[in-house]
Structure 1
Amino acid sequence: MAPDIATLRTLPAPAPGQDGEKPNILYIMADQLAAPQLKMYNPESQIKTPHLDRLAASSVQFDSAYCPSPLCAPSRMSMISGLLPMKIGAFDNASQINSEIPTYAHYLRSKGYHTALAGKMHFVGDQLHGYEQRLTSDIYPGDFGWAVNWDEPDTRLEWYHNASSILQAGPCGRSNQLDYDEEVMYRSVQYIWDHVRQGPEKRPFALTVSLTHPHDPYTITKEYWNRYEDVHIALPRVRMPKEELDTHSKRLMKVCDLWGQDFSDAQIRRARRAYYGSVSYVDDCVGKLLETLEAAGLGEDTIVIFSGDHGDMLGERGLWFKMSYFESSVRVPLLVNYPKWFPPHRVSQNVSTLDLVPTICDLVGTKPAPYLPMDGLSLMPHLQGREGEGNDGNDAVYAEYTGEGTVRPLMMIKRGPWKYVTCPADEPQLFNLANDPDELDNLARLSKVAPQSAAEEAAKAVLAKFEAEAEARWDFDAITAQVLQSQRSRRLVWDALREGSFTSWDFDPVDDGRAKYIRSTIPLDALERAPRAVPFGGQPWLRVESSQLDPQLRRRRRRRRRRMMMMMMMTVRMTRERWTDRILT
């Protein structure tokens, strides 16, 4: 049973990274995984995630974690840098961040870690950003082709999300995303074993495993589809006429080609069932990675972090995919597992995946660059059960979005139970999630009407503070000009690059199988003496030296080496003779 916060405060606080200990770090990311849909956050959830549930039970579990932008690339770029999207130019899925911006991979490498990435990260341009090694290609393009166009706000992008994901939802024999994630998993497991084979002098590793599931299209193999055969899939909690949606949601409906669609209950259930199956697939991947750590003898020496880039609306309010600040789109799972330092407990305060960079720095005993102030805050007080220290109890998180469905910057502030959303092109929104978890009562209306109760009077005061804070924090006109300039420049470059010969920016990992498996490339004797990635005598590795071998076995090895040398010499002599004969004839 997890200790309560009062108990944690009496425990001696560990000093990560200060005593020379350098645990490995395994960071597992899922794509489009909605926290409110998971059993660890919602006991009524129908999704089966036994591995994640077990991981959560031994982890520090964050119940109110948010992404810094409800879109893949901006969220990920902010997550790896600890900086909000507007500060680094992460405007949409075709934005590139400057290579001079440090990421957690840079900070970890500077502390002696081997940093590796397997899977999706949606980099544009620079395909490493501090990772020493990428184990796979990406699944999304690394160029400017997906740039948003505010100059043509009513033009729908043909390549973007559309209704086919829902209309064609169901089981499949195989999919591109499954092929990709299977390679991600194979490479990740192989990486862990290769790390063990290096022996006791190896560097600690920091491996990021980024899966593309459960991202749409909503399809999964029958193995996972059938896990929900006897489950009566629940319909969305909030369903409302399109005409009653806020203006941003209406634009999203049109951008995603959903405005003219009326999905049947059966179609909605099929899409949600496929999504549930995809989440179960992710859960099995998590289980396999954890099992590999244990089998390799690394389970107690590896910090495991699990999170996601954003959520999925799954039909709530008629919306699908992400791109909004409603809970199912913007709230993400976040677990930090290392019981050796952090007893399992739950954290209710708001946090952000922006906080991971300063947290990882604290874990390995370093600090982010002082000349580049972090927008994120270290989670160390939360991990150690010292909530409220270092930030005066202020649990505000911020998010910024200028991607598909916007015509001006759309910003969010979440503080305590209050969520405030503002955009010059849309009506503001204010929700008190403590009283209104489904976000149905927009208290921003109080700016135009007189409060009718003490609660409304208090809400109006909260609204005024948020409005003042947003005005002080964001210069919407300046940001709009910056975004437009970036969009136009990228479109110009992209149009030019497609003329004539096209050179892809996508990452192509070097993988020469001839140097890995064929025995003629490695002396057999070296293979015999190499570290074996098999637990032996309590050690996760075993190096067999010649001096440790039985004398008779040593003699056999010497005879075998002599035979091999004789065969090589005979081969060389025969080859010379053949070439001599050819020359003479």
Structure 2
Amino acid sequence: MTATPARPNILILMVDQLNGTLFPDGPADFLHAPNLKALAARSARFANSYTASPLCAPARASFMSGQLPRRTRVYDNAAEFTSDIPTYAHHLRRAGYHTALSGKMHFVGPDQLHGFEERLTTDIYPADFGWTPDYTKPGERIDWWYHNLGSVTGAGVAEITNQLEYDDEVAYHAARKLYDLSRRQDERPWCLTVSFTHPHDPYVARRRFWDLYEDCPALDPVVPPIPFARQDPHSQRLMLASDHDKSVVTPEDVRRSRRAYFANISYVDEKIGELLDVLERGRMAQDTIVVFVSDHGDMLGERGLWFKMNFFEGSARVPLMISAPGLPAGRIDMPASTLDVLPTLADLASLDLSGVMPWTDGESLVPLARGTGGRGPVPMEYAAEGSYAPLVALREGPWKLVLCELDPPVLTNLDEDPHERVNRAADPACAPVLVRMTEAMNARWDLSRFDAEVRASQARRHVVYEALRNGAYYPWDFQPLQKASERYMRNHMDLNILEDSQRYPRGE
């Protein structure tokens, strides 16, 4: 009888708002990211991978569940991720894995675990409904939580910030967890997700990383600012949402913002290097799948736009690299999605997803990486701040089509026009492509119904939030608890057993 092979461990390294165009085949040459470059060399590198939705909470719920926002109903950064939606943490835990999270996942609602057996830190963002947009008030800015351009005009250097403090803590707890796992006191395979908030704005970096980019050749955007009147309608809405007319952004502001952003990629690279080093020294590297991914990108001043919330490449394209035993390393150009991570992990860990696949929008990337299969057109959705109605997009081959009931269609050919300067929707030569892709998108999405669902969700949440902030307030934010009496040496422990069990490797 053949023994069932041991399932691999899984280490997921997630970053926030990392522009995928900077990862054409691993990190771009100008980036000081030696650890990510070494990881890229042994990974399947999906050069054209896309977020399911270019905003934190929707993107992360979709990443974890393999479902688009319309299925998860996590439309924006204040929409509840409900407990009945299986995530990769649920699937792996059900199959016998230990599942843990260190860092950000932006869960909204009272369930702050979503399949994780253990959560090592709190989140950096609130878990309630306070950031709910309102489609009944198009153009209204809520200044205390909407992005403005202060991140750009205030770019620079600091040794400690809110976000640096958070990511320092995330890395510390993740490293400590890896040391615990290396002791082999739990025989189960494990999945540890480590999720950093950098290089998300504000664009502020530590001096030693900032200094790496003094002569960086990429400090100026490729596409210069486009005047407001010439921007497409959604870009105009995003500029209004970021209060663009209240700030004067100079070319030096742009350069300093991009410099700090690149510096924070180097900061995250160092943290990732520390974790991969612990994995290696704990003798777990050979049996561990390593996934590197971002939730969405950042426009970084291209076209005069910042942050995300649109389907341009800078915002929607993300790095995705997977290093796994038996998975060939190399670059894959066929478009892929963060929706694909769940079914890919299930494939690599030999998990059966047949019961939920009818409700899953992702596809396993294992056949694509092995050269034995492909991937269908990649869908995206956006229905959050800065939008007045849902937007949807489809990437098929070189083509990307964006539809919204309020706007003319936007069709681009990314092979011919990688910076998306020309909308081909009105080009007679592209009419067959436009018709074919529009029909496919209309079959997938009912935009009027989608809009009604989003509006109903927003209305419900506004009522609930106002009610729950009256009287006694119970926060949903995750409160990590530490069992101090079970750490180090205590009187209910046998010192001899303790010292031996906490040492790894043993006998050396």
Scaled to the shorter chain, the TM-score interval is over 0.9
Determine which of 532, 540, 545 is the counterpart of 2:503.
532
Determine which of 486, 499, 504 is the counterpart of 2:457.
486
Structure 1 segment 77-476 matched on structure 2, within 5 A: 77-125=61-109, 126-158=111-143, 159-199=145-185, 202-231=187-216, 233-239=218-224, 240-338=226-324, 340-371=325-356, 373=358, 374-388=360-374, 395-446=376-427, 451=428, 457=429, 459-476=430-447
Paired amino acid for 1:164:
G
Cα distance in 1 for partners of 2:344, 2:443 equals 27
User: Any conservation in 1 of the 2:26–2:45 contact (CA below 8 Å)?
Assistant: no
In the alignment, is residue 523 of structure 1 matched against residue 508 of structure 2? no
Paired amino acid for 1:287:
G
Cα distance in 1 for partners of 2:157, 2:24 equals 23
Cα distance in 1 for partners of 2:217, 2:95 equals 50
Classify 1:535/1:267 alpha carbon distance in 2 versus 1 (closer, same or farther; 3 Å): farther
Paired amino acid for 1:53:
K
In the alignment, is residue 59 of structure 1 matched against residue 43 of structure 2? yes
Q: Deviations over 1:45-72 (max 9, x none)?
A: 5321111111101111111100100000
In the other structure, the counterpart of 2:60 is 76
User: Any conservation in 2 of the 1:32–1:308 contact (CA below 8 Å)?
Assistant: yes
% same residue = 45
Cα distance in 2 for partners of 1:230, 1:437 equals 25
Paired amino acid for 1:472:
A
Cα distance in 2 for partners of 1:438, 1:41 equals 19
In structure 2, stretches of 5+ residues that fail to align are none
Paired amino acid for 1:275:
Y
SS in 2 for 1:304: strand
In the other structure, the counterpart of 1:554 is none
Shift of 1:395: 3.1
Cα distance in 2 for partners of 1:440, 1:39 equals 19
In the alignment, is residue 46 of structure 1 matched against residue 30 of structure 2? yes
Q: Deviations over 1:355-412 (max 9, x none)?
A: 1111111111122252551211111102322233xxxxx5310001101111111000
User: Any conservation in 1 of the 2:25–2:331 contact (CA below 8 Å)?
Assistant: no
Cα distance in 2 for partners of 1:330, 1:413 equals 11
In the other structure, the counterpart of 1:4 is none
Shift of 1:229: 2.7
Q: Deviations over 1:526-571 (max 9, x none)?
A: 323324123656xxxxxxxxxxxxxxxxxxxxxxxxxxxxxxxxxx
Cα distance in 1 for partners of 2:137, 2:89 equals 37
In the other structure, the counterpart of 2:480 is 509
SS in 1 for 2:199: coil
Classify 1:57/1:124 alpha carbon distance in 2 versus 1 (closer, same or farther; 3 Å): same
Shift of 1:500: 1.4
Q: Alignment RMSD, CA only? A: 1.7
Shift of 1:235: 0.7
Q: Deviations over 1:327-369 (max 9, x none)?
A: 010000011102x311211111111010111111111112225
| TM-score with structure 2 setting the length | 0.96
In structure 1, stretches of 5+ residues that fail to align are 1-16, 389-393, 452-456, 538-585
User: Any conservation in 2 of the 1:40–1:53 contact (CA below 8 Å)?
Assistant: no
Paired amino acid for 1:182:
D
Runs of 4+ in 1 over 6 A off after TM superposition: none
Cα distance in 1 for partners of 2:178, 2:152 equals 37
Which of 1 and 2 has greater Rg?
1
Shift of 1:213: 0.4
SS in 2 for 1:140: coil
Shift of 1:249: 0.2
Classify 1:512/1:21 alpha carbon distance in 2 versus 1 (closer, same or farther; 3 Å): closer
Cα distance in 1 for partners of 2:214, 2:466 equals 48
Structure 1 segment 8-23 matched on structure 2, within 5 A: 19-23=4-8
Shift of 1:171: 0.3
Cα distance in 2 for partners of 1:371, 1:180 equals 35
Cα distance in 1 for partners of 2:348, 2:245 equals 47
Cα distance in 1 for partners of 2:310, 2:506 equals 48
User: Any conservation in 1 of the 2:394–2:402 contact (CA below 8 Å)?
Assistant: yes
Shift of 1:257: 1.2
Shift of 1:469: 1.6
User: Any conservation in 2 of the 1:349–1:395 contact (CA below 8 Å)?
Assistant: no
SS in 2 for 1:422: strand
Q: Deviations over 1:146-201 (max 9, x none)?
A: 111111112112121111101110001201111111111111111111112234x6
SS in 1 for 2:331: strand
Cα distance in 1 for partners of 2:72, 2:354 equals 15
